[in-house]
């Protein structure tokens, strides 16, 4: 099939998910529709979606709108959403994604609900023990992938071995990293270091063919960029991710305080403004759109709960990129070979 006859990518977007929904979600969808070759389906309360479209003077016919009578709160338990909110934007969105082969789902809503609905509707790739959340961490000179960053608090060694495989595919596809270096998060670099999970996972990953496994990596090594993919259980990964976010906020807050301390520093800030803005953009989560739930039989992008239009636009971009580079098919082949 040539490019002219190729159907547009389909992205199903949860219009009600996130702190700034639906207004910022709709803005992001509008920007993405103009920039990327995709059809965007909006799920959510139709009246609220149409009001947001009117505010930005966007033609509603640009999107397909699927009305949902229920909304998922950030405080909702995932099990309750599956049982009692089957007409919510998240549940309906994941169901549509499953029905429309090759489509992608994007949400800035309740992460647990997105994961649960994805497992029920989109389901796991055959052979995958547990889907994992992959997130991009920007460093000074490169970007790395952290997997799992929160989907699985309790893990078995074979889960981490699969995370290594999926993380490799994600790094190659999304970040275009050639032969990515895979590291296992641990308290020491020696093979015998760590708890039983780390020791057994190390042995399993070491035996995987076609993976550039460099062994254990300590927390400080991660920030030196010694590897391209960091593998860990979801409990460790989520603590690591939240710690990185907290340190970044502290760092930028301290710099802001120093530059506003006195008249001389305020003058210096004028000359340094562009440099600091470039640095802030490099570490801005909105530049990357969010994280991905990989290991399910479809593309699921989970944007940050505080996402605004820019983050949603970039999440759609990453979803389209994943579709174009067949990330699900590549993970399926890797897991089942």
- Model pLDDT, residue 257: 82
For tokens 């259980």, name the residue: 233
- Model pLDDT, residue 280: 65
List, in order of start, the domains of the chain with CATH numbers: 1-128+295-327 (3.40.718.10), 136-286 (3.40.718.10)
- Model pLDDT, residue 301: 95
> Long-range contacts made by residues 52-60, C-beta under 8 angstroms, separation at least 24?
52/15, 52/22, 52/23, 52/25, 52/26, 52/27, 53/26, 55/23, 56/26, 56/27, 56/30, 58/26, 58/30
Q: What is the DSSP string of 135-149?
A: EEEE-SS-EEEEE-S
User: How many of the other CB atoms lie within 10 Å of CB of 187?
Assistant: 12
- Model pLDDT, residue 279: 64
Q: What is the pTM (predicted TM-score) of this model? A: 0.88
- Model pLDDT, residue 293: 96
- Model pLDDT, residue 149: 93
| pLDDT digit string, tens, across residues 24-42 | 999 999 999 999 989 999 9
Q: Which helix (H) or strand (E) holds 292?
A: strand 291-294
Note if the bond before 148 is cis, omega within 30 degrees: yes
Segments of the chain scoring below 70 in pLDDT:
1-6, 271, 275-289
Note if the bond before 2 is cis, omega within 30 degrees: no
Q: What is the DSSP string of 237-267?
A: HHHHHHHHHHHHHHHHHHHHHHHTSSHHHHH
- Model pLDDT, residue 24: 96
> Residue 63, exposed/middle/buried by CB under 10 A (0-12, 13-18, 19+)?
buried
Q: Contact 274/283 with Cβ under 8 angstroms? A: no
Q: Contact 84/47 with Cβ under 8 angstroms? A: no
| pLDDT digit string, tens, across residues 246-293 | 877 777 777 778 777 777 777 877 767 776 666 666 666 566 668 999
Q: 297-330 burial string, b = 16+ CB within 10 Å, else e? A: bbbbbbbbbebbbbbbbbbbbbbbbbbeeebbeb
- Model pLDDT, residue 281: 64
Dist. CA 29–CA 31, nearest whole Å: 5
């Amino acid at each position: 099939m040539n490019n002219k006859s190729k159907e547009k990518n389909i992205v199903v977007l949860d219009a009600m998910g996130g702190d700034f929904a639906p207004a910022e979600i709709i803005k992001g969808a509008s920007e993405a529709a103009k920039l990327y070759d995709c059809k965007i389906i909006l799920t959510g309360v139709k009246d609220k979606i149409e009001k947001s479209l009117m505010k930005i003077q966007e033609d509603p016919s640009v999107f397909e709108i699927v009305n949902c009578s229920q909304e998922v709160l950030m405080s909702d338990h995932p099990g309750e959403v599956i049982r009692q909110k089957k007409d919510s934007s998240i549940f309906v969105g994941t169901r549509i994604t499953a029905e429309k082969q090759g489509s992608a789902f994007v949400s800035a809503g309740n992460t647990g609900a997105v994961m649960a609905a994805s497992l029920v509707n989109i389901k796991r790739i055959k052979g995958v023990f547990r889907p994992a959340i992959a997130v991009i961490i920007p460093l000074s000179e490169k970007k790395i992938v952290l997997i799992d960053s929160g989907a699985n608090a309790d893990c078995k060694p074979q889960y981490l071995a699969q995370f290594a495989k999926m993380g490799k595919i994600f790094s190659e596809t999304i970040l275009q990293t050639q032969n990515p270096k895979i590291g296992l998060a641990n308290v020491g670099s020696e093979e015998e270091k760590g708890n039983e999970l780390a020791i057994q996972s190390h042995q399993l990953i070491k035996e995987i063919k076609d993976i550039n496994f460099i062994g254990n990596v300590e927390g400080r090594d991660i920030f030196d960029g010694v590897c391209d993919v960091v593998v860990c259980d979801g409990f460790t990964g989520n603590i690591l991710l939240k710690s990185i976010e907290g340190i970044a906020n502290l760092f930028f807050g301290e710099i802001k305080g120093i530059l506003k301390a006195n008249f001389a520093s305020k003058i210096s800030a004028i000359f340094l403004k562009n440099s600091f803005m470039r640095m802030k953009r490099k570490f801005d989560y909105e530049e990357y759109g969010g994280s991905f739930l990989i290991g399910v039989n479809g593309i699921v992008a989970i944007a940050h709960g505080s996402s605004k239009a820019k983050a949603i636009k970039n999440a759609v971009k990453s979803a389209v990129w994943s579709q174009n580079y067949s990330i699900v098919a590549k993970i399926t082949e890797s897991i089942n070979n």
